[in-house]
Amino acid sequence: MSSTDKEEWRVRVEGALASYEAQLHTCVANLDKLTKHLSKLTLGTELLQPQDVSPALAPSPVSPGIRDTPICIPERYSGEPTSCRAFLMQCNLQFKYQPSAFPNDSAKVAFILSLLSGPAREWGAAEMDRNSSICGSLADFSKELINTFDPAKPQKEAAIRLARLTQGRRTVSEYAVEFRTLAAICDWNKSAWRDMFYAGLAEKIKDELAAREWPEQFDKLVEMAVSIDRRWTERQRERELSSRSLTSRFPPTQLPKYKTVQREFRNSVRLDRHPHGPTDELKPEPMQIGRSGLTPEERSRRFKDNLCLYCGEPAHRVASCPALLKGKAQQPGGDRC
């Protein structure tokens, strides 16, 4: 295919896509108008019905002037016990903030049935096939769905989990989120919440709280514990940064060994104590004969200028001082082992 043919083909495809997009927008607009018109007709029909209509089938009251709020459609529910109540909560959000789309309980139940899958869908199909009365009442349908797929008592399970809950290696904020989630299901009072929350905190947080006045409110205790945990974490980071800075300034290879410094210090002390004494280990400094040894100022200067503490010359230490070794060799018996 030549470049000209490719360009013509691209132009035709783009034109077709643009045409389809325009038609799609037109269909969406027409569908929106039709939905609004159908809602008005439905409301009008409900108003014309007799007053003894069953409450389960009566339309939900819609306040005039309230516009529907876009809400994400819940994910399909296949019968997991742990997500049954959360699924119904998301469906109730649809019913509350989009009242025009769900004028009565039958429409709401139909919406829930359309989102069922797996075992839950089979259960819903069986209820529809036998024309069960729960299909006309949202409350009855929700209750039966919970009894079928989530028969456990959430308050009891939440209380057991809450009694075993601890902070562990998590932050106080993460621990508080899980604690609040479980506590909201239990029927405990806020005083019990406070005591249980403190019992599950890490020991380091309890140590800090021991030196402070406990707040009476549960929320205040959580706020104080979170503040302590954040400050403790910041302090740990400060220590790490300080340690890294010290290591970068003084690498381990450049730090003097402790034994070398200790040996040189002892040699300087012996020289100071026995400047002229008859010792075989050390010879008095040639430049200090007749004096009482090095003065503190002279010793400090030699340390600073990296000079020998015995002869004052650079490039060696006392242990390898040539003048000291020469003096030892000249003493009687200096060459004996």
pLDDT digits (tens, 9 = 90+) for 44-80: 555 555 544 444 444 445 454 456 777 888 899 998 8
pLDDT per position as a tens digit, 123-181: 988 888 888 888 889 999 998 898 888 766 777 888 888 889 999 999 999 999 999 98
- Written as one string, the DSSP assignment of 226-280 is HHHHHHHHHHHHHHHHHHHHHHHHS-TTTSPPHHHHHHHHHHHHHHHH-SSS--S
Angle, CA of 192, 193 and 194, to the nearest 5°: 90
Q: What is the pLDDT of residue 284?
A: 46
Greater confidence (62 vs 39) lies with: 39
Q: Which two tokens stand for residue 321?
A: 């001082």
- The CA dihedral of 191, 193, 195, 200, to the nearest 10 degrees, is -170
- Cβ 136 vs Cβ 57: under 8 Å: yes
Residues in the chain: 337
Q: What is the pLDDT of residue 15?
A: 74
Computed from CA positions of residues 299, 302, 306, 312, in that sequence, does the dihedral angle turn out positive or negative? Answer: negative
Decide: pTM greater than 0.85.
Answer: no
Greater confidence (265 vs 329) lies with: 329
Mean pLDDT, the chain, whole residue set: 76
pLDDT per position as a tens digit, 193-229: 999 999 999 999 999 998 888 888 899 999 999 999 9
- Percent of the chain exceeding pLDDT 70 equals 71
Angle, CA of 135, 138 and 139, to the nearest 5°: 120
Give the mean model confidence (pLDDT) for residues 239-258.
Answer: 64
Q: What is the pLDDT of residue 277?
A: 46
Greater confidence (269 vs 234) lies with: 234
Q: Which of 130, 216, 231 is nearest to 172 (CA)?
A: 231
Q: What is the pLDDT of residue 222?
A: 93
pLDDT bracket for residue 20 (50, 70, 90): confident
Q: Tell me 66's DSSP state.
A: P
Q: What is the pLDDT of residue 170?
A: 92
